[in-house]
């Protein structure tokens, strides 16, 4: 199955920016963590952390109620 995917992927066009546009995009890339901390990046991380913590608490107390 994976070899079939590889073969089909070779038929796809290469999605790359032209060289002059690639230089512009490279200049706009964030260089520090502070630059990439935007709301659309941080909110999913916080949501995942809240869900994971609740599941960890349920799993942790599940051992107490085993009997």
Q: How far apart are CA 67 and CA 64, in angstroms?
A: 8
Express as a percent the part of the chain with pLDDT over 90: 15
Delimit the domains of the chain by residue range.
37-67
pTM: 0.44
Note whether 3 and 10 are within 8 A (CB). Answer: no
Alpha helical stretches, state H, the chain: 2-9, 19-28, 33-36, 39-62
CA 53 to chain CA mean position, Å: 19
pLDDT in tens, 4-27: 999 988 888 777 767 777 777 777
Q: How far apart are CA 37 and CA 32, in angstroms?
A: 9
Tokens of 58: 């349920």
């Amino acid at each position: 199955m994976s070899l079939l995917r590889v073969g089909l992927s070779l038929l796809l066009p290469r999605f790359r920016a032209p060289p002059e546009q690639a230089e512009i995009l490279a200049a706009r890339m964030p260089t520090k963590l502070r630059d990439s901390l935007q709301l659309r990046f941080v909110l999913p991380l916080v949501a995942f952390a809240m869900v994971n913590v609740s599941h960890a608490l349920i799993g942790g107390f599940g051992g107490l109620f085993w009997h």
